[in-house]
Amino acid sequence: MIYCDTEVRRSWRITTMPFRSIPIIVIASALLALFGADQCFSAPPTQDPIQHFRQTLQMVASDPPDPCTSGIYTEGPKAKAESTLFGLAVDIVTAELNATPAGPKPPAERATEALKNLGLMSAKINAAWPDEERFHFQVLDISPAIVVKVSFRIRAMFFVFGVPNDHQWNPKGLWRQVWSDVEHLDPTRIGCRFVIDLYPLQRGPSGNARFLATFSYIPCSGITQGIVYDAMEWDPKNSGNIEQIIDQKGEFGLDEVPNGHPPTPNDLSAPVGVLRTEGSLITLPYCWRSPIDTGDHPDMCAVDTYDLSGDNPKFRSRVYNQPDLLPIAKAIEYAEKRDYQAVLGYCSSDDIAHRMVRDLPYSINAGDLQVTRKSEGKEHVEMGFPNTYQFDLEKRDDRWLIVAFSE
């Protein structure tokens, strides 16, 4: 599990989709009731957003920059500084993209310059802070869309900007925020640092823009971090809607990932596979908690391969770091849920599956897991505490199965 002060979750998402049959006042009221007026990502109409951005930076400049190391969490408006700054950044970028005359620079460069000025402002006002805690950004140009990541202190999020090809909803052809994904909660209630990375992905025959966002949830106190892979595709002709095409979650031990980022091809400590985002085949590595864990970090890991060559991404394969122990991990997991059919998929006989579902307790600690190789494709495993469970494994047709079980 991830040791945060409260459960880490995808807090909420906004899509600026067309609401053709609902009065605007109803929509506004519903959004304010759902998110609270202070979480709407826009500056007050009577205040200059750049000036508001500067004042917000000044408001928190005397506070500790990192609650993870200081243990101090601010309250009131200061606790919502990230939400305010991120919303103002959206307003400033949107205004720059829609400025007239637009000038000769492409949209991504105009967005970059606007954000660079905000970064310089934070570098000056928050000069007493470590550089990594100040306002930073990343602009990913996947024309005709632009993806912007922003971070401040221990929070981060990203936005997608585009020009929806919908004459009824967007008659003037303006740039709009078409997606946002908020990955932070109230800093007074959560003990996690958030790291986001953005990667362009190969497009399908339709040419729609694609990208991958990776989210790392790093606990202020703990030994594992959560990871989420979120691949998105944007079709400007589909009312500006964004479609999620891949969603994969997992965990890593903090000693297995460099600075919270997923393992890359140069990371020799990766438990299984590395993150690859170039070309038609991409790979996503991750681990997860299982009954065979012998320490404080997950021992079962996998790397998934997806084929992006078509308009519909397809799952290609999954490779495990311990394929021989996978049947035990999965069978125990399903036996604890009393799911006989699922357990049977990892056993060589009905009798073994029935006994595992009947005899295994609700929760098993792997304890001192011992694996003994008996011969080629045959292993004996002992695990469990305080009770000891014994399994015989055989590899049949490139697949490991439980062929014997006893307590």
| Strand locations in 308-341 (E) | 314-320
- The pLDDT, as a whole number, for residue 107 is 95
User: Which residue do the tokens 């404080």 mark?
Assistant: 296
pLDDT at 295 over 70: yes
Whether the CB-CB separation of 380 and 374 falls below 8 Å is answered with yes
pLDDT at 189 over 70: no
- What is the residue type of 368? D
Lowest mean pLDDT, pick from 9-18, 192-201, 269-278, 394-403: 9-18
The confidence band for 10, taking pLDDT boundaries of 50, 70 and 90, is very low
Q: Coil, helix or strand for 389?
A: strand
Whether the CB-CB separation of 320 and 301 falls below 8 Å is answered with yes
Domain boundaries, the chain: 12-320, 326-406
- The pLDDT, as a whole number, for residue 239 is 67
- The pLDDT, as a whole number, for residue 37 is 37
The confidence band for 349, taking pLDDT boundaries of 50, 70 and 90, is very high
List C-alpha distances in Å: 7 to 183, 219, 260, 294: 12, 11, 19, 24
pLDDT in tens, 120-172: 999 999 999 999 999 999 999 999 999 999 999 988 999 999 998 877 778 88
- Report the 10 Å Cβ neighbour count for 388: 13
192-200 and 176-182 strand pairing = unpaired
- Report the 10 Å Cβ neighbour count for 334: 21
- The pLDDT, as a whole number, for residue 43 is 47
pLDDT in tens, 46-83: 579 999 999 999 999 998 888 777 766 666 677 789 88
The confidence band for 265, taking pLDDT boundaries of 50, 70 and 90, is confident
- The pLDDT, as a whole number, for residue 390 is 95
| Predicted model pTM | 0.84
CATH topology of domain 326-406: Nuclear Transport Factor 2; Chain: A, (3.10.450)
